């Protein structure tokens, strides 16, 4: 599109130059300097103008090429931006998923902590109950030992009494 515009612009410049006589070759007579010097000067100006037009054409073509390369670079950067936007959206989705996973794991950890605390409290209560039962068992074992000792002592006394009684009956 830009090249077409530049080519049209050059055609307009060429038409304007042709109308002003820049591209016309005059008959130059060598005899009279007053006649050929202005013509030669005019030709020099025309050549200079032609070089200028050629330079302008080259400059316009270079600018069109620069413009086209800038457009290509712009399009490439636009594509990169679109790619980065897609990547950003993908990363946002991943972040949301990871945030949800983190929330779930945090809830699980809180529940596990609650269970651990509950279990710890139960363990403390059971340990206290076990200690109480152990103390009660120890007390009962002491009583048992005392009772057994007392029973043994009674049994011995009873045996002694029985033996005494038997012996005393025999003496009679």
Domain assignment of residue 43, given as a range: 2-126
In a domain, residue 138? The reply is: no
Number of domains in the chain: 1
157 domain residue, yes or no:
no
- The pLDDT, as a whole number, for residue 45 is 59
151-169 pLDDT, tens digit each: 999 888 888 888 888 777 7
- What is the per-residue pLDDT for 116? 95
> In the chain, pLDDT over 90 holds for what percent of residues?
51
Q: Is residue 53 part of a domain?
A: yes
Q: What is the DSSP string of the chain?
A: -HHHHHHHHHHHHHHHHHHHTTTPPPP--SS-HHHHHHHHHHHHHHHHHHHHHHHHHHHHHHHHHHHHHHHHHHHHHHHHHHHHHHHHHHHHHHHHHHHHHHHHHHHHHHHHHHHHHHHHHHHHHHHHHHHHHHHHHHHHHHHHHHHHHHHHHHHHHHHHHHHHHHHHHHH-
pTM of the model: 0.43
In-domain check, residue 167 = no
Is the pLDDT at 3 greater than 90? The verdict is no
From CA 87, how far away is CA 102, in angstroms rounded? Answer: 22
144 domain-assigned: no
pLDDT for res 89:
97
Task: Write down the mean pLDDT value for the chain.
Answer: 79
pLDDT category, 26, cuts 50, 70, 90? Answer: very low
- Does 117 reside within a domain? yes
Q: Within its chain, how far is the Cα of 169 from the centroid?
A: 109
| 152 within a domain of the structure (yes/no) | no
* DSSP structural state of residue 25: P
Chain segment 91-104, per-residue pLDDT in tens: 999 999 999 999 99
pLDDT (tens digit per residue) in 31-88: 444 444 454 455 555 556 666 777 778 888 888 899 999 999 999 999 999 999 999 9
Residue 111 lies in a domain: yes
pLDDT at 24: 39
């Amino acid at each position: 599109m830009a090249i077409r515009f530049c080519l049209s612009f050059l055609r307009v410049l060429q038409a304007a130059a042709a109308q002003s006589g820049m591209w016309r070759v005059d008959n130059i007579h060598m005899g009279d300097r007053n006649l050929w010097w202005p013509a030669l000067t005019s030709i020099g100006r025309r050549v200079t103008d032609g070089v200028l037009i050629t330079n302008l054409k080259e400059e316009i073509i270079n600018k069109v090429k620069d413009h086209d390369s800038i457009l290509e670079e712009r399009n490439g950067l636009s594509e990169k931006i679109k790619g980065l936007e897609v990547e950003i959206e993908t990363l946002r989705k991943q972040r949301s998923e990871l945030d949800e996973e983190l929330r779930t794991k945090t809830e699980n950890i809180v529940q596990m902590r609650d269970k651990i605390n509950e279990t710890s409290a139960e363990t403390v209560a059971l340990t206290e109950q076990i200690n109480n039962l152990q103390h009660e068992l120890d007390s009962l074992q002491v009583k048992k030992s005392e009772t057994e000792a007392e029973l043994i002592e009674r049994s011995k006394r009873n045996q002694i009494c029985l033996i005494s009684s038997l012996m005393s009956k025999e003496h009679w």
